[in-house]
C-alpha cells in the first residue's frame, strides 16, 4: 500500500498536520488500514526531503501543517495515471507456509489448509456482514462508499483464498491417491 501517495492525495485538498492526515487516511480507507502515527511522520519527512511537501506554518494549536508542492502534485498525477504493477507474485505467508509444510515431517498439509479455510471463512462472514451494513448506510452517508469499496475488495480476496484452498486440497488428494504423478526431483535439489 502506498502511504506516500495516500498522504499526497489527502494534501491535495489543502494543508494538514500529521495526526489529521492519519485520521483522514483511516476514514478514507474505511478504517481497514490503520496507520501508526510514526509511519505518517516518517513518510512526511521523506516527502519533504524529496520536495513533494513543504511545511506550511502551524495551526492555532501549534501543530505543523504540511502542504503539497508542485512536485508533489506532479507525482500524485503520475500515480493516478499509472496502473498498479502486478509484475511478480507477492510474498504470501500462506503460500510459503503450505510449500514449507509439504517438506516437513509430522505436518499434515491438509490440516494446515483446513485451519486456514476455517479462519478465512470466519473473516469472510464478518466482512460480508460489514459490507451489508455499509450498503445500508451508503445512501445517507457518502463517505461510506470508500469503506464499501474496501470491504468489497476484502470479500473478493477472501472468496478467492477459499477457492485456492479448495484447489490445494483437491490437488493434495490427487497426489496422495496416486492419481497424479509426483513431479520429478530436480538435479541438485
pLDDT, residue 189, reads: 46
pLDDT, residue 140, reads: 79
pLDDT, residue 183, reads: 58
pLDDT, residue 91, reads: 75
List the chain residues with pLDDT less than 70.
1, 89, 142-143, 178-189
Q: What is the pLDDT of residues 56-69, one digit of tens each?
A: 999 999 999 999 99
Q: What is the pLDDT of residues 4-24, one digit of tens each?
A: 999 999 999 999 999 999 999
H or E segment and range at residue 102: helix 93-102
**b/e 93-107 (16+ beta carbons within 10 angstroms → b):** ebeeebeebeeeeee
Three-state DSSP string of 42-95 = HHHHHHHHCCCEEEEEECCCCCEEEEECHHHHHHHHHHHHCCCCCCCCCCCHHH
pLDDT, residue 26, reads: 87
Amino acid at each position: 500500500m502506498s502511504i506516500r501517495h495516500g498522504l499526497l492525495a489527502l494534501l491535495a485538498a489543502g494543508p494538514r498536520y500529521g495526526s489529521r492526515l492519519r485520521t483522514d487516511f483511516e476514514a478514507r480507507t474505511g478504517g481497514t488500514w490503520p496507520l501508526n502515527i510514526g509511519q505518517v511522520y516518517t513518510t512526511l519527512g521523506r516527502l519533504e526531503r524529496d520536495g513533494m511537501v513543504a511545511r506550511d506554518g502551524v495551526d492555532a494549536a501549534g501543530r505543523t501543517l504540511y502542504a503539497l508542492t508542485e512536485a508533489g502534485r506532479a507525482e500524485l498525477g503520475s500515480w493516478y495515471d499509472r496502473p498498479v504493477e502486478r509484475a511478480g507474485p507477492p510474498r504470501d505467508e500462506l503460500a510459503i507456509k503450505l510449500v514449507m509444510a509439504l517438506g516437513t515431517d509430522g505436518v499434515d498439509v491438509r490440516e494446515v489448509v483446513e485451519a486456514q479455510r476455517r479462519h478465512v471463512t470466519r473473516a469472510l462472514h464478518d466482512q460480508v456482514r460489514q459490507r451489508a451494513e455499509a450498503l445500508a448506510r451508503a445512501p445517507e452517508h457518502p463517505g461510506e462508499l470508500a469503506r464499501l469499496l474496501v470491504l468489497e475488495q476484502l470479500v473478493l480476496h477472501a472468496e478467492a483464498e477459499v477457492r485456492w484452498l479448495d484447489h490445494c486440497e483437491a490437488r493434495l488428494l490427487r497426489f496422495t491417491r496416486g492419481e497424479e504423478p509426483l513431479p520429478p526431483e530436480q538435479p541438485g535439489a
